[in-house]
Structure 1
Amino acid sequence: MTAEQAPDLSPREARDRYLDHRKVEAADASVKSWKYRLKHFVEWAEEQQIESMGDLTGWYLDEYETFRRGHDVSPSTLNGEMQTLKNWLEYLARIDVVPESLPEKVHVPSIPDGEESNDEMLDPEDARVLLQTLRSDPDHYGTVKHALLELLWFTGARIGAIRGLDLRDYHSDERFVVFHHRPESDTPLKNDSNGERAVGLPEVVCEVLDYYIKHHREGSHDDAGRKPLFTTTQGRASENTLRVWTYLATQPCLHSPCPHGKERETCEHLHIHEASKCPSSLSPHRVRTGSITWQRDCNLPAEIVSERVNATLEVIESYYDQATERERLEKRRRPYIDYLDLDPEGEA
């Protein structure tokens, strides 16, 4: 092989080289997402006995897309996977591992209108009832599940950001929390240092957090010697543990009869290993979606919500804000209609 020739790389080798290249400029969460998406292609290529990326053709790419469609993936998932595949091949074409024309042979399917995201979210009215129930019930007030739901709802933060909070990041007297990017001790933010921000909290939320810290928080440290806000007896709560707590905190049987005909006292979905199987429980992401929509309905300017939840305006409008056009008119735009006056007060 001369200096001008690129080596034959297997699909797995090419995938690893690409991810190593992107690690320099991308967040860890993004790299993990690309690795997961490309995993499907690598495994498929190995089953097809494709030993060199140089052997790929447009036919193979079309066969792979057909293969993925046969697994009933959603339109948005297939769109993301094929776009990542195309980006990967563009990198490989740039370093002469695959032909320059190959990336253009990847078909990235469009997403039908209305299917860009899952509309399921914690409805603001349901959130109000859940939080009022937790606040008024002595058995639930200030528990870890209650404190977590309050913080998720009033910050709209991602679960990874919530997991990374330390006690020192919560400022009770001034009523705010600060999200810090600390990758060296396993609590990065999705957007790295660009995700760092302070988010204000209502007084009633701080009262819940104060009670949780005083009466229910496990007094443990994580492996880095830090004091996490949300803990287990082993240290900092994992993202999976936080998800389970969220599932349990959003079950409607906390305040109403079970919509699925079960009795709360005997329902298996109250167990931590079964909580996610409750048809009405919601993940942290659905709480985030509902929170962002609610914050916009509270007439917080889009720019303020963007800063609070660390998401661009475009992402908020496309993926998180689930208000209907009529709701946007009635709750957000109609109050400004009075400004549209051809004869402002005071003019002749």
Structure 2
Amino acid sequence: MNATPPHEAKNRYLKDKSTDVTDSTLSNYETTLNVFCGWLTDEADVDTLNTLSSDDTQKFKEWRLERVKTITLKSDMTCIKGFIRFCEHINAVPEGMHKLVRVPKPSREDEVSSDLITSEEASEILDYLDTHEYASLRHVIFRTLWKTGMRRSSLYALDVDDFDDGSKPVLRLRHRPDTGTPLKNKRRGERDVRLDRETADVIADFLKHNHPSGTDQHGRTPLLMSTQGKRCKPSTIQRNIYTVTRPCHYTGECPMGRDLDECEATSYNTASKCPGSVGPHALRRGYVTEALNAGQPRDVTADRVDMTTEVLNKHYDHATKEERMERREDYLVDV
């Protein structure tokens, strides 16, 4: 076997996968493998993978479980299993070692994330943005994600030309892998998304007053651009959502009773450390739940946000039992 350092094998694996998966998936792989390879070298004294044992991967799994939820551990260990299989291919570990990597099987309750934004919270945040950050990059990011339920990666992929501010405003989502913006479901994920008038006005005013203009390296003008004239990274979208969903940001007060002058989560780069903040996916879950509560059909909602009804039912509909009862109310007949 070859004496391959963990981080060298990781870099080769990521390069190999770069043509098969989206940028966001590749980024997730990189995050997981950075943790794994860092643990191998720092904690397990594995300098080259030819000394890796199944006991090492099991000890990592136990170490990681103390720090993340079971569903996250499942994702991590699935990624590591694929990495070990690749390492077999390059003769860095013994043949068949990937079969010894144990992937946990979370319960249904563990598999479903409960993070979501409610319509009341979203309305309060939008009121704040309308007053204090109108037509800003953050305003566009939050309002578009909340009002459409689209993925962060879909918002990232939009160009200025994809926005139609006509009598019936539209955002056109297109799969463009050759110029750096693939959609998760590729061509199947392409669709036109109708916008309400107020959201369209916010985007139009952002483009008129606050958009840096210019083009990226592919000659495209991204809808979301940094002040440096580059397409905003998915991490920028995420950090803006973490920032604006911190209760202290839009209310001026901390419901956890923290001293805002001493809190570690009050900066843009540390906002995710706030227990009250959420990431972009919470808006997607919130949109789906609130749309269904408002009577929007499941197939229409699933089509609008580009997911199957099975995934919608399992992972995105977080209605309470009372809300589900009220949904059925209009369809009940006396028998």
Structure-2-length-normalised TM-score: 0.80
CA contact (8 A) 2:243 2:249 kept: no
The CA distance in 2 between the partners of 1:78 and 1:114, in whole Å, is 15
- CA spacing shift, 1:49–1:215, aligned 2, 3 Å: closer
1:35-46 correspondence runs (5 A): 35-46=30-41
The CA distance in 2 between the partners of 1:15 and 1:269, in whole Å, is 31
1:52-98 Cα shifts (integer Å, max 9, x gaps) = 55x5554344333233335x222112111222233444566689876
CA contact (8 A) 1:156 1:288 kept: yes
1:151-173 Cα shifts (integer Å, max 9, x gaps) = 11111122232122111100111
User: Structure 2 unaligned runs (5+)?
Assistant: none
- CA spacing shift, 1:264–1:206, aligned 2, 3 Å: farther
For 1:169, the aligned partner's letter is D
1:296 matched to 2:292? The reply is yes
CA contact (8 A) 2:148 2:193 kept: yes
For 1:151, the aligned partner's letter is T
Q: Which has the larger radius of gyration?
A: 1
CA contact (8 A) 1:163 1:187 kept: yes
Give the 3-state SS of the residue equivalent to 1:231 in structure 2: coil
The CA distance in 2 between the partners of 1:86 and 1:94, in whole Å, is 13
**1:328 is matched with which residue: 324, 327, 334?**
324
1:130 matched to 2:130? The reply is no
For 2:317, the aligned partner's letter is D
CA contact (8 A) 1:169 1:179 kept: yes
Identify the residue that residue 146 of structure 2 maps to in structure 1: 153
Give the 3-state SS of the residue equivalent to 1:178 in structure 2: strand
**2:204 is matched with which residue: 206, 210, 221?**
210
1:140-188 Cα shifts (integer Å, max 9, x gaps) = 4333322222211111122232122111100111311012233333333
1:24-79 Cα shifts (integer Å, max 9, x gaps) = 433333233233323344344444336355x5554344333233335x22211211
CA contact (8 A) 2:169 2:195 kept: yes
1:141 matched to 2:134? The reply is yes
For 1:239, the aligned partner's letter is P
For 2:142, the aligned partner's letter is L
Segment of structure 1 superposing worse, 36-45 or 96-105: 96-105
Root-mean-square deviation (CA, aligned residues, Å) is: 3.6
Give the 3-state SS of the residue equivalent to 1:230 in structure 2: coil
CA contact (8 A) 2:172 2:192 kept: yes
Identify the residue that residue 345 of structure 1 maps to in structure 2: none
Give the 3-state SS of the residue equivalent to 1:337 in structure 2: coil
1:166 matched to 2:163? The reply is no
Percent of pairs identical after alignment? 30
**2:45 is matched with which residue: 35, 45, 48?**
48
Offset at residue 9 of structure 1 (A): 6.5
**1:180 is matched with which residue: 171, 174, 185?**
174
- CA spacing shift, 1:132–1:43, aligned 2, 3 Å: closer
For 1:51, the aligned partner's letter is T
1:90-110 Cα shifts (integer Å, max 9, x gaps) = 566689876665444322222
Give the 3-state SS of the residue equivalent to 1:125 in structure 2: helix
- CA spacing shift, 1:24–1:9, aligned 2, 3 Å: farther
CA contact (8 A) 2:49 2:93 kept: no
Aligned pairs, number:
329
**1:308 is matched with which residue: 304, 320, 328?**
304
For 1:37, the aligned partner's letter is T
Segment of structure 1 superposing worse, 258-267 or 287-296: 258-267
